[in-house]
Every structure is written in C-alpha cells, then in structure tokens.
Structure 1
C-alpha cells in the first residue's frame, strides 16, 4: 500500500509541478568547417512564449503561415542563444524546425568555423517564461562531448577542448 501511495504522490507532483527543460547540442563538423546546432524545446512552452512576445494567435504544430512561424522562432533564438569560439562571435543561421512528439526541434548552423579550443555559450531560452527553466548544453568536437546544465538565471557556459 505504501509503494502505491508513493507512486501516486510522485505522479501528482509531476502533474502539478512540471519541469521545464531544453537541450541544445552544438556539434562541430570538421569536414564542413561548420557548427550544426539543434535545440529541443517543449513545443507548448515555445509556442506560449512566442505568442506572448508577438501578441498574435499562434500554433507551431499546425502553423497557418509556416514562414511567419519560422521568422518568430528565428528571432527568438537570435535573442536567446549566442555562441563564441575562441573569443569570436559565431553568426548562427536558423534553418528551420520540426515537431516530434511534444518537442520542437529547432535547427541552426554556422559556416566557416575553424576548429576551436574554447567555446562560450549563452543560452537563456525560456528564462523569462519559467523561473525553474533548465537548459542543458552539449558541445561536441572531434568526438569529444562536453556537457553542462544551466539553471535559470545562470545562462553562460564555457567549454575547453
């Protein structure tokens, strides 16, 4: 009986206290001298944030105007995700997004990036919306993966290779 009660309490806690997390993976593609970036963000959280910012109705799962939705997402990420390599700012190009289950996968890239010794990432995605937001970051270069967790309000992470 105690185990069932415990499981019920944990389930109830998860319903009433949802977690807010995004995952950003930055992979260095040596053959193309580029960064390939994917951001996994809960679709409803991203949609609510974009809706508040744009003050317009929005459905990112079934957008009425995909180009306009892409523009909103690109603008949001441009203001909330920054990367520097070896102290030089990296210009991120938004490529698009796709919905997979409850997540929005947003894709970005940066060209003409030489191999680097250090990377700095500033990621405050959804920090304005959720005080408990957690942003996981993975940076991968030459098969070496470095990871960190940023708890709101901490938004900056440094990686050395």
Structure 2
C-alpha cells in the first residue's frame, strides 16, 4: 500500500512539473480492468500523459496529432484505437479476448482511453500484455489494476517486462 501511495505522489509531482512548463521526469501509464458481473463485461480504462501519447502517435503514424482538437476527433479516435489495440492485449480465463474501442477523453495533462470486452460470463484469471509507450521510453512503467467484485490485484510492470496475470 505504501508503494502505491509513493507512486501516486510521484504522479502528482510529475503533473506539477508539467504545469510549470517542464517535461515530466516520470514515464508511466495506468491501466484498470474491471469485471462487471451484472453486464458480463470487462471494462478497461488506460491513462497516459497526453504529451507522451501524442509524441508516440506522431512518431509511429507520421501525421498531425492533436488529441485536444475537437475538429480532429474522428482522426484521433482512429489513431488512439490503432495504437491501443496493438499495445494492450488481454486474455481472460486463458483465452485471448477482443477489445472494443469505446473512445478517449482529455483530463488535464492525461488522456483516458476506454475499451470493453463483451460476453464475459465469469472471470477466473486475466492476463495483461502491456507495451504502452515501450516504443518511446526505455524507463516506462505500467501500473495495472484488475478488479473483480471487492478484490483488487495490482502491480507495476517495468520496461522491458510486459505481462501480469491476476488470478481470482
């Protein structure tokens, strides 16, 4: 628990340095996967610093990128979807699952991306393969939370590691 508080403190410091006009020194993304038993879905949300995310989209797809520009929303949705689906894969109960892209929104200095896996009657395990921003930073950290009912399994994945399995 203290480790998570420390990481959150680092994130706050990083956000303050972005507000002060400096580059943030911490390269981190957060992915949360919630099993919704009522709707029989996995609800996935990813949070990535917007400046880092835009930089990798430009680097990989060689086109103008502005996640906060409402006039470019359709084009940005395509880039975000393409990137996330190629850098985040899930297996549930040992089988690969297809994620549906829902959308993204800007929240201060971060971009929140939403995905969903439908028709999940039960979840005994979730394997996460996360390489978000690995093609940009060799000090990238991914914080992953998998939640089922009141049970929360969390870890941090440090580059070059990329996998985490939560068993319930």
Q: Tell me the TM-score normalized by structure 2.
A: 0.85
Is 1:34–1:109's contact at 8 Å kept on the other side of the alignment? Answer: yes
**Do residues 22 (structure 1) and 33 (structure 2) align?**
no
Q: Tell me the TM-score normalized by structure 1.
A: 0.88
Indicate how the Cα distance of structure 1 residues 47 and 21 shifts in structure 2: closer, same or farther if over 3 A, else same. Answer: same
- SS of structure 1 residue aligned to 2:89: strand
- SS of structure 1 residue aligned to 2:80: helix
Is 2:91–2:97's contact at 8 Å kept on the other side of the alignment? Answer: yes
Which residue matches 2:166? 159
Q: Structure 2: 5+ residue runs without aligned partners?
A: 1-12
**Do residues 45 (structure 1) and 56 (structure 2) align?**
no
- SS of structure 2 residue aligned to 1:114: coil
Cα drift, residue 63 of structure 1? 4.7
Cα drift, residue 142 of structure 1? 1.4
Is 2:35–2:123's contact at 8 Å kept on the other side of the alignment? Answer: no
Question: Deviation above 4 Å: which 4+ runs of structure 1?
Answer: 14-17
Cα drift, residue 16 of structure 1? 7.2
Which residue matches 1:64? 71
Q: What's the CA shift string for 1:8-54, capped at 9, x where partnerless?
A: xx99xx76770100000000000000011100000011100001111
Which residue matches 1:33? 40
**Do residues 103 (structure 1) and 98 (structure 2) align?**
no
Q: Structure 1: 5+ residue runs without aligned partners?
A: 1-9
Pairs aligned (count): 150
CA distance in 2 between partners of 1:47 and 1:17 (Å): 14
**RMSD (CA atoms):** 1.7
Which residue matches 1:88? 95
CA distance in 1 between partners of 2:66 and 2:23 (Å): 24
